Amino acid sequence: MAKSEAAAVKDPATKGKLKLIIAGVIALLLAIGLSVGATWYFMHSSQSKPAAPVEAAPVGKQAAIFEALLPAFVANYNQNGRQRYMQVSITMMARNQADLDALKVHMPVIRNNLVMLFSAQDFATLASPVGQEMLRQKATASVQEVAQKELGKVVVEQLLFTNFVLQ
């Protein structure tokens, strides 16, 4: 008789937990079904609409072309008797591939000017974001100067520092 009373006491608690688990599984399946259905609806509804015409770039402005200057620049300089190093990875942004290819002929001059510019910097100035932006602008002006002198036009719109390490 003790066993049947224990079984009777366990049964209602077990049934309550089982109902809770089943309700949780059903709710989870319903949520998954709704998310799959909503995803399918939005993916297919955008295909049924006529595609909006892609706006062409303005007539005067071509798409940007990016060219990395490899290898990265490494410059060293003394700061208060201590040897400091700077490593800068640079990418040029231009608009005309033919002009960019013509500028590549003068890459030794460009690299020389940039190394000299980087070596003349002050560590305290370069440690701030404002100093880094000023250096980027000076480097851009240096490359544009070489392009203007050698090709008769400014080829590089700007230089981008893709990696900047001070030690």
Same domain, 4 and 46: yes
Q: Any idea what the Cα angle at residue 134 is, between residues 151 and 130, rounded to 5°?
A: 155
Predicted local distance difference test score (pLDDT) of residue 46: 54
Whole-model pTM?
A: 0.61
Domain count, the chain: 2
Cβ–Cβ < 8 Å for 101, 155: no
- pLDDT-above-70 percentage for the chain: 82
Residue 3: CB atoms within 10 A of its CB come to: 7
73 and 51, same domain (yes or no): no
More confident residue, 8 or 144: 144
In a domain? residue 60: no
Choose between 159 and 33: higher pLDDT. Answer: 159
Structure confidence at residue 64 (pLDDT): 92
Q: Which domain holds residue 85?
A: 65-166
pLDDT of residue 130: 93
Residue burial 9-29, b: 16+ Cβ < 10 Å; e: rest: eeeeeeeeeeeeeeeeeeeee
Asked if residue 7 and residue 35 are part of one domain, the reply reads: yes
